[in-house]
Structure 1
Amino acid sequence: MGNGTTVQEFTLEGFPAIQHLGRLLFSVHLLAYLASITGNVVIVSVVCTSAHLKTPMYFFLGIFSFFECCFTSAVIPKLLAIFLLGKQTISFVACFVQAFVFVFIGAFGFLLIAVMSVDRCVAICKPLHYPTIMNPRTCPLLITACLAVTFAFITWVVVKVSRLSFCGPHVIPHFFCDLGPLIHLSCSDTRSAETLTFGLALFILLSSLVVTIVAYSGIVVTIVRLPSARERQKAFSTCSSHLIVLSLMYGSCVFIYVKPRQTSRLESNRAAALVNTVLTPLLNPVIYTLRNKQVHRALREAVCRIKMSR
């Protein structure tokens, strides 16, 4: 806790304009949350149990779905409590824990998306070398490296913000604890914390985006050189789901974080954050399974196994 801090808890403002619709909003968000958790848990289960999905692509997809469950669970349960019970207060420590978990998983997600882009690039551009490059040792090492880098950077930023002085006001104009609104509430000099937060967001987004652009540039060049239209369509279909998810993630997060001042456009930021924490995790299982024949096959086999066990 920073020097001069007198605030022991914060109040999450939520959505004051529609707070009177608490029970309806609770029902809608509860259904979306349960659907998101169910969809991502199904993907994780299928990837872990199906013999047809023991490839790096589905290994990364399983990791991504697991962290999507954690990501939405860091925010939505508290939002449901606000809607149903009107419980808007959160302790100082719990607020920073929530901010850490949210930003950590979000940043890791972007690095994982970049790794998944590289995996698709190697699979399409270097198919003969793919089993050698993306071997069972390389994939866990890539995940561990992403986790270590993310943990180091996010811990640095969150500790920096937590050491600011908070002496009032204590109302966070958001529905969860995020670093931008917390910095805005500090009564000390926040320029270094704002610069560090902005720089980290820019670094995570740009580094993952550059890797993704380079990977997909190679993919596009390779696809264009394929002799038949059927081969080109098949190669592109393996990347289309990834591109849709990537667009959703980058669109909402660039809108929220990549601007030097975090005090502007609070209402639009809340809406973008709601898309990022509710809609995107809900759509990801649908996007990744809708056109994936191997996942369809694994799901059918899983259903058959369940029926036979009865």
Structure 2
Amino acid sequence: MDSSTESIATTSVVIEHGDKVIQIEAVAGDHIGATIAASKKFYEWQFLGTLAEYLSPGDLVVDVGANIGNHSLFFAAVCGAAVISFEPLPLAADILQKNVDANSLSDKIQVRQRALGESLAKAKLDKLDLANVGATAFAVAPDGDFEVSTLDLEEISKTVSLIKVDAEGMDVPVLRGGVELIERDRPIIACEAATASQQAELEAFAAEAGYSFVYRFNATPTYVLAPSRTALERANVERRAAGLVTSTHWATRDLYYRLGLVSTNLRSLSDVQESYTSANLTTHPEEDGIAGLSVRIEQLEGLVRTLSERLNDSDTQRQ
């Protein structure tokens, strides 16, 4: 698979977040860039908003699987944190560095173009889809072209406040390769676990490391874990739990956000269907096109109803 940046078309989107204006370059047609362009917000902004509550200016964040830098840019530009961004895919790492430079954040974000795992190894590129670069996956292989390092072997001397891991199946191995750092600093951990087996693996790691699950976000399950071994750590978890209204607030805003995107998509499809109908197109291919649009519109209308019901339930619970 070709993971270079040659002949890769890119697009640029702009986010206005408070008084910050962030420019993000992305692979043209990629899911993350398209979502940012449609929402005018950071990708997974509800998740990021919750993580921001754990950060203060000057804190250090380790972003494993940084992709083009959406999360790293948020941590640095919005939260004022220092960030070490790990991204092994050359085309994503190149765009990440461009985004760091374009937003004048080279003093806050350090890009390290390498994969992380449980131990030193080699890996091969196992999956690459330019329509969803964030889902790129690597697999450990003796003859792989990519070097795999570990968090414990990386030079990270400053206290780490947050570790975010999105490594497409290698997530818990990344954490296991950083047990010394995690024991040293007891950071907040945000980790993706897409499947039931990966979730079980994460649960086992949390039990061993003395961490508790406090939040779940995103379409692909991503969990926020907090240290809870000592009495003080448990008290901090309980204090956070007392502010559950905050997470409910973010969850409700997430539903409104998704409802807005679906409604926009629905209006666009309805306009297309109307143009078909008004043109009196009656040949078989166009009829198939209209039928397909009708089915899609019905699906989206059903999703709008479901989201609206969930919003009503959420509002009722918060009253």
In which range does the TM-score fall when normalised by the shorter chain? under 0.3
Q: Which has the higher helix share?
A: 1
Point out which structure has higher relative CO (alpha carbons under 8 A, 6+ apart): 1
Q: Which has the higher strand share?
A: 2
